[in-house]
Structure 1
Amino acid sequence: MTKPPFSPDGDTSQPADERGFFAGQQPKRAGAAIAAVQQDDAHYHGHRDRLRTRYREHGDTALADYEILELLLFRLIPRRDTKPIAKALLERFGTLAGVFGASPALLQEVKGIGEAVAFDLKLISTVTHRTLKSGLKGKQVLASWSSVIDYCHAAMAHETREQFRILFLDKRNALIADEVQQTGTIDHTPVYPREVVKRALELSATALILVHNHPSGDPAPSRADIEMTRLIVDIAKPLEITVHDHIIIGKDGHASLKSLRLI
C-alpha cells in the first residue's frame, strides 16, 4: 500500500506541497538572522556611544590611540565594527602619525580600508599640515622654532622618498614661501646649490632654512649632506642670503646642522 506524502500539519489525507513545507521554515530562519544582526548592531552602537561619551566628558586623555582612530573611523565606515581596523592600522604603521603619513596605496593594504576611506584619511592629514603651516605665516620663524620643527615633521617624517624642502624668509625672517624643490629615492635627493640660490633671488628672500627627510628614520647627517649644505652657504653668502640651518627629519626626531656646529 502506498503511503500518502507527508503533510507538515500531520494531515495525511491531502498531498503535501514540499515547497510549502520549506517556505514555512524560511520565516523562522530569516527571523533568527535578523535578530542576530540587530543584536550585533546594538552591540557596536552601544560601544560607539560609550566611546563618544568618554571623549566628550574626559577628552582625548581618556582614550588610547586605537580608540581615537576608531572614533574617527565611526564616521568614515558607518555600519561596521571599526576597532579591528583601527588596531590593524596602528599595527601596520606604528603610530597615529604613521597612519596619517602613509600613502593611500599603503593604507588600502589594510583590510577594511578602501579607496574612499584612504582618501579621507589623507584629507585629514592635509588639513593638519595646512594648520601647522598657517601657524608660521606672518611670524618670525626663528622665534617659532618648535612650530617649524612640528610642521616639517608632520609634512615629511613619513614620506617614503627623500624630499628637499626650502623655507624662504624675508628680512624679518617671516615665511615668504615653502617649496619642495626636489624629490628623490629612498636614500638620495639631487640638490643643485645654484638653483637653490637662484630661486631665493627670484623670491627676494634674504634667508633660507633647508630641510630634508631620511626615510630610514635616522636623522643623522651624512657627509654628502654636510658638503652640500656648506656649498649652498658659500654660494649664498656673497649675495647676502643667510642659511640659518639645515634640518634633517627622521621618523622619531630631527637633526640640526647648526646645532651640531656643522655649518
Structure 2
Amino acid sequence: MSPLPTCQTLLLEPRNGVLFITLNRPESRNAMSLQMVAELRTVLAAVRDRRSIRALVLRGAGGHFCAGGDLKDMAGARTRGSAAYRELNRAFGALLEEAQQTPQVLVCVLQGAVLGGGFGLACVSDIAIAEHSAQFGMPETGLGLLPAQIAPFVVQRIGLTQARRLTLTAARFDGAEALHLGLVHFVEADPRALEERLEQQLSQVLRCAPGANAATKALLLASVDQPLGPLLDQAAEDFAQAVTGAEGLEGTLAFVQKRKPAWAS
C-alpha cells in the first residue's frame, strides 16, 4: 500500500482504522489556503479506495477548526483578474463535493472558529461534534461577498429557511444553537468531554462493515435528488450484492454464531 501524501498544511495520523486529519495553520486560525484545499483533496483521493481506513476525523490545530478562506490567497488573485477568483472559489467547492462523497465516515470535531469554509466543511460531515463555545457563522455578506460554494451544502444540512436567515444576516452563534439547527449532532462542555464523545462515536462506526457503510452513505446522498423509482431499483441491486458478498456472509454467520464479525473484532 502506498504511503499517505506528504503535506505542509495538514497533520496526518492513521490509527486503528481511523485517519486523523488536522488542519495545521494555527497562526491563521486554520484559514483555508489554496495549498490546504489541494492537500485535502489529495488526501481524500489517496484514501478513497482504502477500506482499511474506515473513518476520517477532521479537526483544527490551536483551538480553532477553520476561520474560512485565506484572504492572502484572495489578495494574490486580485492581480490575475476575475478568472483567478473563480478558480480559487471553485476549488473549494470541489473539495466539499469530494468530502461529501468520500466512502469513509467523515467526523468533524469543531472548536473555536467554524466560519465560512469551515462552516461548509461541517455541513458535509457525517458526524459533527462541537464544543459549546465554538463560534459558527457565514460572514461573507458582511464582507461584501457571498458564500458561493458552501451555500448548497448549507441548505442541504439545515434547510432553506434557516440558511436564508444565517447568510443574510452574517449571524454568529454557538454550539448550542448549532445543535438546535441540526448542523451538529453533539455539543460538549469541554475538550475532555469532546474527546470522550469522539471515541464513543468512532467505536460505534467501527462496529459497522466498511463496505456496507460506504454503500449506505451513497444511497442516502442519492436520495436527496434522484427519482424514487430508479433509486429503489438501484438500492435493491445493491442490497442483493451485499447479502451475497463477503461482508453480508460474514455478518450473518457472526450473528448465528453469536460472535463479533471480523471487522468489529
Normalised to the residue count of structure 1, the TM-score between the two structures is 0.24
Greater relative contact order (Cα < 8 A, sep 6+): 2
Larger Rg: 1
Normalised to the residue count of structure 2, the TM-score between the two structures is 0.24
